[in-house]
Structures are given as structure tokens and as C-alpha cells.
A and B are shown apart, each in its own frame.
Chain A
Amino acid sequence: MGFLKVEDLKVHFPIKGGFFGRTLGYVKAVDGVSFNLEKGKTYGLVGESGSGKSTTGRAIIGLNHITDGKIEFEDKEITKIHRAKAEIRKDIQMIFQDPYSSLNPKKRVLDIVAEPLRNFERLSRKEERFKVQELLELVGLSPESILKYPHEFSGGQRQRIGIARAVALKPKLIIADEPVSALDVSVQAQVLNFMKEIQRELDLTYLFISHDLGVIRHMCDHIGIMYKGRFVEEGTANEIFNEPQHIYTKRLIAAIPDIDPNKREELKRFRAEVSTEYEQAYNDYFDEEGLAYGLKPISETHLVALPEKG
């Protein structure tokens, strides 16, 4: 039934130190995260840096070791699949944050985009070239650029090459790890709209990881807010932006800038209010270690990490 189902995902990194590299403790990058992703929708993971949102995405695609938990993709458990050639790799792809380091500088665009095709499909050189040109056209680059090197492109164009590579195998799920945060603002909108376009065209599902709430609002149907490796609130975009329940979410949303100068004073006051509320209610919403409580449903889709006492 579920498309992607993540259950109680935990990713802990050992801290080595002392004599003989003993394990002194663990960094709990992701500590019990669960969510469901519906086909054709976009799920946004939001949080401050270090909240574990990227780690969650990388764990799903198999780049990070999973300490505990279960990931089901189209009703098949994929938690333990690490083999490079596994068919599952075809269906889940990733767009990386930094378009400057995610493309091999020594390879031509042709080789970069054709890499997944070479791994999974047997195509003749001619077919491969044709396919790559098709993909480049799809992402809005001229087909002649297949012989160029990555450094001959701008950041936005490079990110498009990354996207072309990710969609080459016609995946079902794309994990977009801050796909626009390394681009400048004028290019961000362009890439985002384009991502929406190909989502419609290819029937893609996105797991969209970002710290930028404006971007998330623009892209996502469902949103999960993360804090210190746990969810503090989860719900539809509407619920999160219009009826935030958790003080952390409230504070995040209050921080979204507004370009209307007339509202400046009002916003300032509102932010100060939220800030005081956050400080006063901090102990109610987080446990002794400063971690969020377990999620409790307050409506069918809206879950909030509220303390036991309510």
C-alpha cells in the first residue's frame, strides 16, 4: 500500500577516541524517524543544520549505515540491501546539494549522464548518445553540450545535468538533498519550477530536503519538521504553515522573511512574541536532554510532538 514507508529509522555514528579507538559514545544523527510518502507527491524534510534531515535521505538511498529501523519501498523491505547492482537502485535516485562537487570534473557530460545507463541498460553507443541528448533536452540544455566538461557550465546548468543523470533510469523516487541551496536565488526558482515540471511529466515522487521554508512551501504537499534527529511536527503544507502547533515550528515559520515594508514592525513584534513563547515553553515541549517527545496525532494528517501531559 505504501510507496515509501520509513519506520523508526535510526542512524547513529560512533565517537571513537581514547586508547585503541574505543567507542566513547554515539552521535544520534537520526533518532527514530517515521513517515510515509505517497506516490506522485512531494514530501519536505525541514530543519536546521545538523538536525539529521540529510542523513535521513542518505540512509534511505543507502549511503549511510542504518543503525535500526525499517525502510519499505513499494512493500519491499530495502533496509538491508547494499549491493550496488540491486534493481532498487534504479527506482531511487538522488540529486545532490553541491552541483560543483557532484559531477566528476574529469568526465564529459555524455559520460556523466550515461553512467547510470551503462550500469543498468545495455545500449549501443548510438542509442546511448541519443538517449543522453534526449535527457539533456528534457532538462533544457542544448544537445550539443554532451562533449563539454562540467566546469564549462554555470551552477544552475550543472544542477540540471545532475537532474538529467538522476532521471536517466526513470526512477520512481528522487531524493533531493538541498538541490537549490548552492544556487543563487534567481536560478533557484528556475530549477525548482523545472523540477515540478518533470515531476508531472515523469510521475516522480520527491523527498525534498531543505532548510529553506519558502522553497518547501513552494514545492511540498507534506512536510516533516526535524529537530535534533527527531520529528517535532508533521502534516500537510497547509497545516504546517497555517496552524503550527509546536513552538519550534512556530518559530521557524515566524522567521520567514516578508518583503512588504509596511508589515515590518508588525512582523518584528510577532517574532519577539514567538521568541519569548519559545523560551518560556521550551521545557514543556522538550525533555531533559532537549529532545522532542514522541509524535501524537491531533488530526488525521497532523502529528505533533507534544509532551505526555498534553
Chain B
Amino acid sequence: MVENSATAAVKTKEMIKTPSGFNIIWRELMRDKLALISLICLIGIAAFVYGVSLVLDQEEIVRVDLFAIYQSPGEDFILGTDYGGRDVFGQLIIGTKNSLSIAIIVTLMTGFIGVVFGLVAGYFGGHIDNMLMRILDFFNILPFTMIVIAFVAIVPTYSVLTFSIIMAAFLWMGIARLIRSKALQEKELDYIQAARTLGTSNFKIIFKHLLPNCSSLIIVTMTLNLAANIGLESGLSFLGFGFPEDTPSLGTLLSYARNPQTLEYRWWIWVPASVLILILMLCINNVGQALKRATDARQRRG
């Protein structure tokens, strides 16, 4: 027994550091090559886009140059120009930056609001749940597209941040509902009851017991939401209710394809943006799947 505990003491000295969450995610990514490639792609695109857009001058790119309209890809313009003679490549870079920024900010904001809302409603249940869910219902019945259109019409100048906030204000309900249902299910389990008998406070139970057990759900929904939000922003811009043409986004580039001539003969204007949306969404989904497995000890590969 003495010998036993002595060796144990030696052993624990060696492994004082517990494997952190990042380690686990890293190991999972190393196992799943597709996710690793996707992540590298994603980081590469993001780094390139954010890096190059520091050098690019947006004013310069969105300036109309009538002598250079509809030029096909060549030496002067890598990806040609649009009907205003604007450089498609530069627009693509800045557009991707704007679209990504909006998607990330919206996802984080909706995620935060939704998770806190859902966890509190689900954990406490009863009257609190009832009250919070009625608030959620109210937000749910507001017509999202119409309000965004009204917002675009009323506010003369809007930035990436304000546009994100207005989107986030109407997109958190889905995740809140999802998390609430999970919390309702999870709080009945004995380990939550056990935590209460052990003297853990409600706040701690919600964020240290409930939250980690909803984490796989949160991460998966948030990654899917990230991809969906890129699509949503592009969709709004495509319809003409997103950013104006002097603030390019992936959606504004896509919207040039509404012109049948452009759609058929000037592929360089809209194809790169579409391909980029596709790549971004696929990569995000692949990484999301790997993250999902990493958060659940039973599904891990590595």
C-alpha cells in the first residue's frame, strides 16, 4: 500500500498538466485529415483576405472607371472588371472580408444570446421559462426580412457592425430554443441533482455542468449558423437589401448575375464569388463536424 501510493505520487508529478480542451481538439483534427485541410483552407482564406484588404484601398477599387468596363481577366485585372470598370479581384477580397466579418459577428452574438437565454429558461423552468419563451415568441413572429429592408431604408449609412447587430437581433431564437430543449432534458439527470446536493450554486450549475454538456450542440449549431449566416448575408445583398455597391460583399458580386448577359458571357464577375461561398461553407461544415466529435469524449477518434 505504501509502495503503491509512493509510485502513484511519482506518476502524478509527471502528469500534473491535464490535457486541455485545445489539446483534445488538436488531436481530433490531426486524425481527421479532411477537417484539417478544411481548417487550413479556412485560415488561409481568412488570413489572405484580411491581410490583403489591409493593403487594398477600397475607395480605389470601387471607383467607377468607364474606360475599363467588362474587361476579361488578364494582366491588368486578374479577375477582370464589372460594368463599372471596377476590379473584381479587389472587390472579391474586400467582399469576402465583409461577408466573413458579418457572419462571424452575427454567429457569436446570436450564439451568446441564444445560449444564455436557452440555458436560463431550461434550467429554471416553470414561470421563468414561460416568461422567457413568450419573449422569444414575440421575436419569432416579427418578419425578419421586412425589418431588415426597413432598416436599410431608414438608416442612411450603416457599417458592418450595425448591420450585424440588426441581423443578430432576429436570429438568436433558433439556437435559444435548441439549447432550452437540451437544458430541459439535461437538468433532469442525476448529476445536476447531485451538484445541488453538493452545494453548488445555480450559476455554477448552469455554466459548469449544463453548458459543457450542451457544448457539442452549441458548437455544431454555431458552425452551421456561421455557414448559414454567410449565405443569409449574401442572399440579402443579392436581393439588394444588404450593402450598397460601394461596400462590396460576396452578395453584391453575386447580384451582378441577375443580369442575363453577365450570367452568360461574363463569368469572371460572379463565378469566383460563388465558388468562394461554396468553399467557405464546405470548410466550415467539415471543421464543425470535427469539433463536434472533439467535444464528445465518446465520439473522439484520437
Q: Chain A residues in contact with chain B, CB under 8 A?
A: 58, 61-63, 84-86, 89-90, 92-94, 96-98, 101-108, 110, 115-116, 119-120, 129, 133, 137, 142-144, 146-147, 149, 151, 162, 165
Contacts and interface: CB of A to CB of B under 8 A. Distances in A.
A61 B199 CA distance: 11
Contacts, number: 86
B190 A98 contact: yes
Nearest to B190: A102
Interface string B1-26: 00001001001100100110000000
B201 A96 contact: no
A162 to B, nearest CB: 8
A62 B197 CA distance: 8
Nearest to A97: B190
B18 A63 contact: no
Given A106-B212, A144-B11, A149-B297, A84 B202 contact: yes
A107 B197 contact: no
Given A104-B213, A106-B297, A90 B8 contact: no
B12 A151 contact: no
Interface residues of B, number: 26
Contacts of A58: 193
B212 A107 contact: yes
B8 to A, nearest CB: 4
A146 B193 CA distance: 22
A154 to B, nearest CB: 16
Given A105-B213, A105-B297, A94 B197 contact: yes
Interface of B: 5, 8, 11-12, 15, 18-19, 189-191, 193-202, 209, 212-213, 215, 297-298
B200 A119 contact: yes
Contacts of A84: 196, 199-202
Contact of A89 (B19, B197, B212): B197
A101 B189 contact: yes
A169 to B, nearest CB: 8
Nearest to B15: A147
14 contacts: A62-B197, A85-B199, A86-B199, A89-B197, A89-B198, A90-B199, A94-B194, A96-B193, A102-B193, A102-B194, A116-B198, A119-B199, A147-B15, A162-B194
Contacts of B15: 147
Most buried by A among B12, B190, B200, B298: B190
A84 B200 CA distance: 6
A145 B202 CA distance: 28
Contact of B191 (A92, A103, A137, A151): A103
Nearest to B205: A84
A214 B190 CA distance: 26
A151 B298 contact: yes
B250 to A, nearest CB: 37
Nearest to B197: A94
Q: Would you list the 4 A-B pairs with minimal beta carbon distance, nearest first?
A: A102-B190, A89-B199, A106-B212, A143-B8
